[in-house]
Amino acid sequence: MKPIMTIFSFFLTLYVAQAQEEFQHPIDKKSRACYDKAVSTHDMIDCADKAHEAWDKELNKVYQSLLKSLNKDEQAQLRESQRAWITYRDNALKFNDTFMGNMDGTMWQPVSIERATDIISERTKLLQRYLDDKTSN
């Protein structure tokens, strides 16, 4: 039984890894391709900036689509949630800027932008899951 479980575990791990690769968001794929071509810190900063802008636009698009799909009570709750998230985001970005501003070296600049982008992309992905749930119903 143990060898079967080991084989099953191996194939499950492969499947999950492949699924994550296949379901990578197009913005993340484009960003990864940009980084793969980057030859300098300046190039990396440019890639990070482009990804940040793309995720910010995607967040607004998904938020508006989700908002339109909801009833009045759900809309009010989403707006309240989004306002609270914006407060969180702003505070998290202030911390990120302070923390990263104290790091030595230019390499921390793209890292700082990536971490700020992570905050926005995670919120976007969460709202997208709500939208997917709403539209699949």
Cβ-in-10-Å burial (0-12, 13-18, 19+) of 19 comes to exposed
Give yes or no for a contact between 78 and 70, defined as CB atoms under 8 angstroms apart: yes
Task: Read off the pLDDT of residues 1-18 as tens digits, 9 standing for 90 and up.
Answer: 555 555 555 555 555 545
What is the token pair recorded at 86? 């914006």
3.30.530, 1.20.1270, 1.20.1640, 1.10.150: which CATH number matches 25-136? 1.20.1270
User: From the centroid of its chain, how far is CA 35?
Assistant: 16
- Answering whether pTM is above 0.75, one says yes
Residue 57 main-chain phi, psi, to 5 deg: -65, -40
Residue 23 main-chain phi, psi, to 5 deg: -95, 15
Give the number of C-alpha atoms closer than 13 A to the C-alpha of residue 31, restricted to the C-beta side.
Answer: 20
Give residue limits of the domains in the chain.
25-136
Task: Read off the pLDDT of residues 14-40 as tens digits, 9 standing for 90 and up.
Answer: 555 455 556 789 999 999 999 999 999
d(CA 25, CA 44): 19
In this prediction, the residues of the chain whose per-residue pLDDT falls under 50 are 17
